[in-house]
C-alpha cells in the first residue's frame, strides 16, 4: 500500500459513484461509456483545471492544497469522515524505510478500564482488528465459540474482520450482516490511510480480498465509515435476539488500541439478555470453533 495509490483509487471510486443528474449536469441524450462523472466534469464542479485533477487522480501530483482538497471533497459530496480520509491520503508520506510493525500490547490503563467494565461486554482491539483482550461478557457476546484465552498469545489472537467475513458463527450473529461488514471495511480503509506502510495490515486486506468476494467488492468502492457508535440487532445462540449499541472508545492520540463496548437500553429485554449472557459466560466451558463460511459453503 502507498498513500498516493490509495488516493488515486479513492478519487476514481468516489467519482464513479456520482452521476451527472446527481449534480445537475445535463446529458442531452449523449451515450456514456462508463458510469459516473467524467474527470473534466468533476474538475469543473471543484473549480480546478481538468489536467491538474487528472494528475491528482493518477497519483502524479503530491502537493494539493487544503483548499483544493476541500473543493474536491465538496464536489464528490463526501461526509466528514470521508473528507478527513481524503486529506489523510493526500498528506505527504514520511520519509525513510518502513519499520516492521511492533507487536501490539494492552497498556496498563486500558487493562484497568477493561477490568472496570466487567459486567458490560467489552473487547480491546488493535488497529488491524486483532482482539488483544476481552472480558467475560465481551467474549461471550462477540465470539463465545472461540477459545477464551486466545488473545493472550499474539499468534492465536482472533481477528474481528476475519470473523465477520469468514466465520459462520459471527456472520449469523448480525441480522443486518451487510451493515456490520461495511462498517468493518470502512474502518479498515481509515486505518490503511493512516498506516500505509503497515505490512501486516496490507497482508490482512490482501487475505480478505482473496478469500471473500464480498470483502473485495466492498473494499473496491472505497466507502468510508468511522465505527464510533452503531446499533445492531444480534441473534445470539445462548440468549436469543437482542439489540445492542456498540461504541468504540479511542485514545485522544488515536494511536493506541481501541475499547469496543456493547450496551443495551436499561430495563429492556436486551439488557436482561446481556445480564444472562454474563452468567452463562462465567459458567460455561469454551465451545469448539465452528466452521468458516468457506467450509460451510463447500
Mean pLDDT for all residues in the chain: 85
Provide, rounded to the nearest whole percent, the portion of the chain with pLDDT above 70. Answer: 84
Helix 66-75 vs helix 80-90: angle between axes, to the nearest 10 degrees?
140
What does the pLDDT average to over 53-77?
85
Provide the pLDDT for residue 290. 45
Q: Which residues are 133's β-sheet partners?
A: 124
Provide the pLDDT for residue 151. 94
What pLDDT, in 10s, does the model give residues 184-211? 999 999 888 888 888 899 999 999 999 9
Residues 71, 47 contacting (CB under 8 angstroms) = yes
Q: Is 260 helix (H, G, I), strand (E, B) or coil?
A: strand
Q: Give the burial string for 23-60 (b: 16+ CB within 10 Å, else e).
A: eeeeeeeeeeeeebbebebbbbbbebeeeebeebbebe
Reply yes or no on whether the pLDDT at 146 is more than 60. yes
Provide the pLDDT for residue 291. 52
Reply yes or no on whether the pLDDT at 99 is more than 70. no
Reply yes or no on whether the pLDDT at 268 is more than 80. yes
* Grid coordinates of 264: 443495551
Q: What are phi and psi of 167, to 5 degrees?
A: -110, 125
What does the pLDDT average to over 79-89?
87
Q: Which CATH number fits domain 3-90: 1.10.260.40, 3.40.50.300, 3.40.50.1220, 3.30.1330.20?
A: 1.10.260.40
What pLDDT, in 10s, does the model give residues 6-29? 888 889 888 888 888 777 776 655
Quickly tell me which residue has 462477540 as its cell: 142
| Residues making up the chain, counted from first to last | 298
pLDDT band at 288 (very low <50, low <70, confident <90, very high): very low
Reply yes or no on whether the pLDDT at 96 is more than 70. no
Q: How many whole angstroms from its chain centre is CA 185?
A: 4
Domain spans, the chain: 3-90, 108-297
Fold of 108-297: Beta-Lactamase (3.30.450)
Reply yes or no on whether the pLDDT at 105 is more than 70. yes
Amino acid at each position: 500500500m502507498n498513500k498516493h495509490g490509495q488516493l488515486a483509487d479513492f478519487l476514481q471510486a468516489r467519482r464513479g459513484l456520482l452521476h451527472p443528474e446527481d449534480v445537475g449536469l445535463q446529458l442531452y441524450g449523449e451515450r456514456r461509456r462508463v458510469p459516473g462523472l467524467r474527470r473534466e466534469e468533476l474538475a469543473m464542479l471543484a473549480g480546478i483545471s481538468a489536467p491538474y485533477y487528472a494528475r491528482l487522480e493518477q497519483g502524479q501530483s503530491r502537493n494539493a492544497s487544503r483548499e483544493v482538497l476541500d473543493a474536491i471533497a465538496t464536489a464528490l459530496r463526501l461526509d466528514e469522515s470521508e473528507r478527513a480520509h481524503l486529506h489523510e491520503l493526500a498528506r505527504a508520506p514520511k520519509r525513510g524505510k518502513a519499520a516492521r510493525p511492533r507487536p501490539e500490547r494492552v497498556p496498563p490503563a486500558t487493562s484497568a478500564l477493561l477490568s472496570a467494565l466487567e459486567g458490560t461486554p467489552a473487547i480491546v482491539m488493535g488497529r488491524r482488528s486483532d482482539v488483544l483482550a476481552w472480558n467475560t461478557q465481551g467474549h461471550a457476546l462477540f465470539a463465545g465459540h472461540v477459545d477464551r484465552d486466545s488473545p493472550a498469545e499474539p499468534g492465536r489472537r482472533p481477528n474481528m474482520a476475519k470473523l465477520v467475513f469468514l466465520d459462520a458463527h459471527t456472520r449469523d450473529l448480525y441480522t443486518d450482516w451487510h451493515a456490520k461488514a461495511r462498517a468493518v471495511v470502512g474502518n479498515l480503509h481509515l486505518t490503511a490511510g493512516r498506516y500505509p506502510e503497515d505490512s501486516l495490515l496490507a497482508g490482512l486486506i490482501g487475505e480478505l480480498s482473496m478469500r471473500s468476494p464480498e470483502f473485495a467488492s466492498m473494499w473496491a468502492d472505497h466507502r468510508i465509515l468511522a465505527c464510533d457508535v452503531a446499533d445492531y440487532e444480534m441473534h445470539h445462540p445462548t440468549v436469543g435476539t437482542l439489540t445492542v449499541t456498540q461504541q468504540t472508545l479511542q485514545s485522544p492520540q488515536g494511536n493506541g488500541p481501541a475499547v469496543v463496548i456493547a450496551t443495551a437500553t436499561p430495563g429492556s429485554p436486551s439488557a436482561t439478555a446481556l445480564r444472562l449472557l454474563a452468567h452463562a459466560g462465567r459458567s460455561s466451558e469454551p465451545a469448539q470453533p465452528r466452521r468458516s463460511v468457506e467450509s460451510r459453503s463447500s
